[in-house]
A = this chain, B = another copy of it.
Amino acid sequence: MTEHSLWRFSRAFHRAINERQPGDLEALLDEEVDWAIYGPIDMFPFFGSRRGKAAVIEVIRRIAENVRVHRFDRESIILGTDSASSMMRYSLTALDSNKPISLRVAHFAQFKAGRLSSIRVVLDTFDLVEQVLGRDINLPRITSFA
Chain A residues packing against B (C-beta within 8 Å): 38-40, 42-46, 62, 65-66, 75-76, 78-80, 83-85, 87, 94, 96, 104-106, 108, 110, 120, 122-129, 132-133, 137, 139-145
User: Which B residues touch A45, using CB under 8 A?
Assistant: 141, 143, 145
Q: Give Cα A145 to B94, complex, Å.
A: 14
Q: Give Cα A124 to B145, complex, Å.
A: 24
Work out how many copies of this chain go into the complex: 2
Q: Give Cα A129 to B140, complex, Å.
A: 10
Q: Give Cα A133 to B94, complex, Å.
A: 28
**Which secondary structure dominates where chain A touches chain B?**
mixed
* A139 and B143 within 8 A (CB): no
